[in-house]
């Protein structure tokens, strides 16, 4: 029996594989880009910003991989088509994707507008849907299989008091279920689809939201997880690399909640939100 066991370290290797990360100009998407490069993968980043964070330019030399940045709007079909064609021309094949482009608006439900709702769904849900579709079509053609790691959120699971993000919650619930549907439909092609559900992560997105909160409201949220701190971007990258890699080759339709324990209860009396 022992002879049939495999070494685990090589299963995490991403060298020789090509990935697309949307929203990778900064924040969680950039953290994933860096982590994939560190594990040997080549990465094309699609993001609406003119330029990524300065560290992006040094990744290829630092880790001996290839990177490409394409200014892209994931809400526009011709924009993602052009970006995808460039990535394919550069790398020749695509083995995985982390569609991390996303926005959030912190505003009471009663005040949210049609335009705000539509913008959130366009980027978070429709942008994810069609980027994944474009890449999955290529994977099917390549017959290589592949792996997607979608960005759900604790917002797909729980609604915290004072957390005014109904349109965002709806979008992340959509991404979570999309991942399960695609995992089932694409499994015969050797394509795996999983999600991570982060809690509050220190990024531009939460910085904007945090500025709007009172100290009491903020602490109620950031310090609520049993781990009693805000997540940082590096708290997420190990799970993303795992799900992209062969170490997760039998893992699909899974969701990894990386919340410091918040999805199970709060530090304050360990109340389960989901049970309420
Ligand atoms: N920060 C958190 O607490 C948290 C928690 C759970 C999930 N998430 C999810 O993680 C992902 C990354 O969020 P982040 O915190 O790093 O935010 P962020 O604002 O730092 O990064 C989001 C990126 O998406 C890009 N983007 C926005 N609209 C785009 C468009 N139309 N086309 C292409 N790119 C576009 C932005 O330019 C930016 O680089 C999002 O999907 C978010 O919903 C974040």
Q: Please, what are the domains in the chain? A: 2-200+234-258 (3.40.50.720)
Q: Which of 25, 50, 103 to mutate to test the pocket of ligand 1 (most atoms within 8 A of CB)?
A: 103
Residue linked to tokens 């949307």: 22
Choice among 19, 69, 163, 168 that is catalytic: 168
How far is ligand 1, taken at its centre, from the CA of residue 211, in Å? 17
How far is ligand 1, taken at its centre, from the CA of residue 124, in Å? 9
Q: Which of 20, 70, 100 to mutate to test the pocket of ligand 1 (most atoms within 8 A of CB)?
A: 100
Q: What is the pLDDT of residues 123-182, one digit of tens each?
A: 999 999 999 999 999 999 999 999 999 999 999 999 877 778 999 999 999 999 999 999
Three-state DSSP class for 46? Answer: strand
In this prediction, residue 270 has a pLDDT band, given cuts at 50, 70 and 90, of very low
How far is ligand 1, taken at its centre, from the CA of residue 17, in Å? 24
Atom of ligand 1 nearest to the CA of 25: 39
- Residue closest via CA to ligand 1's atom 25 equals 23
The answer to whether residue 242 is catalytic is: no
Q: What is the pLDDT of residues 92-134, one digit of tens each?
A: 999 999 999 999 998 999 999 999 999 999 999 999 999 999 9
In this prediction, residue 225 has a pLDDT band, given cuts at 50, 70 and 90, of confident
Q: What is the pLDDT of residue 233?
A: 97
Q: Strand 42-47 vs strand 18-22: parallel, antiparallel, or unpaired? A: parallel
Atom of ligand 1 nearest to the CA of 31: 16
Any idea how long the chain is?
276
How far, rounded to the nearest angstrom, does the alpha carbon of residue 34 sit from its chain's CA centroid? 13
- Residue closest via CA to ligand 1's atom 7 equals 153
More confident: 19 or 209: 19
Q: What are the DSSP calls for 178-240, one per residue?
A: HHHHHHHHHGGGTEEEEEEEE-SB-SHHHHHHHHHS-HHHHHHHHT-STT-S-B-THHHHHHH
Residue linked to tokens 């999955």: 136
Q: What is the pLDDT of residue 229?
A: 87
Q: What is the pLDDT of residue 212?
A: 65
Classify residue 149 by its DSSP letter: E
Atom of ligand 1 nearest to the CA of 233: 16
Integer Cα distance of 105 and 166 in angstroms: 9
Ligand 1 binding pocket (C-beta < 6 A) is 22-23, 25-29, 47-49, 72-75, 100-104, 123, 151, 153, 198, 200-201, 203-206
């Amino acid at each position: 029996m022992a002879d049939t066991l495999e070494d685990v370290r090589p299963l995490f290797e991403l060298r020789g594989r090509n990935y697309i990360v949307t929203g990778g100009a900064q924040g969680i998407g950039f953290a994933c880009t860096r982590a994939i490069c560190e594990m040997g993968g080549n990465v094309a980043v699609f993001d609406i910003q003119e330029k990524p964070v300065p560290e992006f330019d040094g990744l290829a030399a630092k880790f001996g991989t290839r990177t490409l940045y394409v200014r892209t709007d994931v809400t526009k079909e011709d924009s993602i088509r052009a970006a995808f064609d460039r990535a394919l021309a550069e790398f020749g094949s695509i083995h995985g994707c982390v569609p991390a482009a996303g926005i959030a608006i912190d505003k009471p439900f009663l005040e949210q507008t049609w335009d705000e709702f539509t913008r959130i769904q366009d980027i978070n849900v429709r942008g994810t849907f069609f980027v994944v579709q474009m890449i999955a079509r290529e994977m099917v053609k390549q017959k290589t299989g592949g792996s997607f790691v979608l960005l759900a959120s604790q917002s797909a699971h729980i609604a915290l008091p004072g957390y005014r993000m109904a349109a965002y919650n709806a979008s992340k619930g959509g991404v979570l279920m999309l991942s399960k549907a695609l995992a089932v439909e694409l499994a015969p092609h050797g394509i795996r689809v999983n999600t991570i559900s982060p809690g509050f992560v220190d990024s531009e997105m939460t910085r904007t939201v945090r500025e709007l909160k009172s100290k009491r409201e903020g602490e109620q949220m950031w310090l609520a997880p049993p781990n009693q701190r805000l997540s940082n971007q590096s708290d997420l990258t190990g799970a993303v690399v795992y799900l992209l890699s062969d170490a997760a080759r039998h893992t699909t339709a899974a969701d990894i909640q990386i919340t410091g324990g918040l999805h199970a209860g709060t530090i304050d009396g360990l109340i389960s939100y989901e049970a309420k």
